[in-house]
Amino acid sequence: MKKLLFIFMSILFITTQSIGYCAQNFTYSTPGNYKFEEDKDIPSGSSESILFIVDFSNSMNERLGHRTKLDIALSTIKETLQLIPPSTSVGLRVYGHKTGFTPKQSCTASQLISPIQQNNAVNIYSRLSSINAVGWTPITYSLKQAAFFDFPDSAAKKRIILISDGGENCDESPCDFVIELMKHRDDIRIDVIALAIGDQDANNQLKCVSLVTSGKFYNANTAAELKNSLQDSLNLQKEVQGIIIQK
């Protein structure tokens, strides 16, 4: 009897420790870690701060035509950055640029590598060019970090442009997060560019992120579509190509 009791108590102890370890290592998915602010009244005509969130997960190394998705994304972003007025405040966050030995490390691999500021195009591209695509896709964690920590504390409107070639794979829902966020905040808009995503569930999750925040959603399956989507999101003047006909 004492032997059975000892075995039971040992199993109970091990189970308790395992649960505690899991809870400790997966706190990144708990919305309570973030403080929701009350609704903000944004003055009409106030300036806008823009944050790019770019996918550097391993799948960005896949080819789209003759080039990798990553190469297409980087060249398109570089070209687009040159069209953004220097007075516009822009910044860059990336995710999936690191791998880890645990799910927590992989699902928190998101970093603000260029804080939002004016005249920032050159710095953003130089940082982008030095990163490799190696990891997972922690979209929700990245959106949480961006919404609560990345934007300057000002009356400027806040816009996120998310470029991703896949959906969330860290046991969180970006759709659920933005629904909760919008109950407390009305100063953030998220545009999403889905780069050659064949998974309908992933597409629906990302589309929800844009629609709930009154943003735009784009499906980009080619380099040209990515360029048009990004420039439309930024409301940039598109070049009009004409053909001169000799009479």
- The gap between the terminal CA atoms of the chain, to the nearest Å, is 105
**Segments of the chain scoring below 70 in pLDDT:** 1-46, 155, 237-247
A 10 A CB-CB count for 21 gives 10
Domain boundaries, the chain: 46-233
For residue 77, give the nearest of 48, 52, 57 by alpha carbon: 52
Asked if CATH classification 3.10.450.50 holds for the domain at 46-233, the reply, yes or no, is no
Q: Which residues, in sequence order, are bridge partners of residue 227?
A: none
- What would the pLDDT profile of 71-80 be if each residue is shown by its tens digit? 999 999 999 9
Tokens 């925040």 locate to: 213
Distance CA 139, CA 136 (A): 9
Tell me the residue type at 179: I
Residue 44: its pLDDT value, please? 37
8-state DSSP, 33: G
Tell me the residue type at 15: T
